[in-house]
Amino acid sequence: MSAYLYTEDELPEKFKYPSSYIEIMSMDVIPDIEPWSFICEFKESSAFWMREVKGKYPTRRLVPFAKVNYSDDIACFDGADTSGEPKVYYVHAFASAGWEDRGYTDNFAEWLKMARFESARYKAEQAEDDV
């Protein structure tokens, strides 16, 4: 499977994806981190979320890359950061501007660690419910 990455024209000026994100998106199989999913699996989904965050939060430079399946929360890179290791913001999509912020992690590696932990817990709870 080929992941869709935003084009240079779609990204904030001088934004660089974290190399660890590029590595994961280059894998033949993108990791299953349910309840999170990487929106880059579908170009249409990526385009939708980029339009949404640009329209809802025009003063913020956000680069959406993942969504959680039980709410409208999305994970976005800080597009204003040009270091190649941007913060990851949790954004409650569709909230009014100023009310969207749900916190952040220092970088993609921290976010992925948290997402994997949440995924393990979520899957364990789902398995218990199936018993």
Residue 123 inside a domain? The answer is yes
The domain in which residue 35 lies consists of 19-130
For the segment 6-21, the average pLDDT, to the nearest whole number, is: 96
12 in a domain, yes or no?
Answer: no
Domain-embedded: residue 99: yes
State the greatest distance between any 2 C-alpha atoms of the chain, in Å, as a whole number.
50
pLDDT bin (cut points 50, 70, 90) of residue 2 is: confident
C-alpha 38/C-alpha 45 separation (Å) is: 10
Residue 11 falls within a domain, yes or no? no
**How many angstroms separate the CA atoms of 32 and 66, rounded?**
12
- pLDDT score for 42: 87
Domain count, the chain: 1
The per-residue pLDDT for 24 is 94
Q: How does the average pLDDT of the chain come out, rounded?
A: 94
> Would residue 75 count as lying in a domain?
yes
Look at residue 2 and tell me if it is in a domain. Answer: no
22-75: per-residue pLDDT in tens?
999 999 889 999 999 999 988 999 999 999 999 999 999 999 999 999 999 999
Percent of the chain scoring above 70 in pLDDT: 98
**pLDDT of 128:** 83
The reply to whether 79 falls in a domain is yes
Mean pLDDT of 89-93: 96
Domain assignment present for residue 8? The answer is no
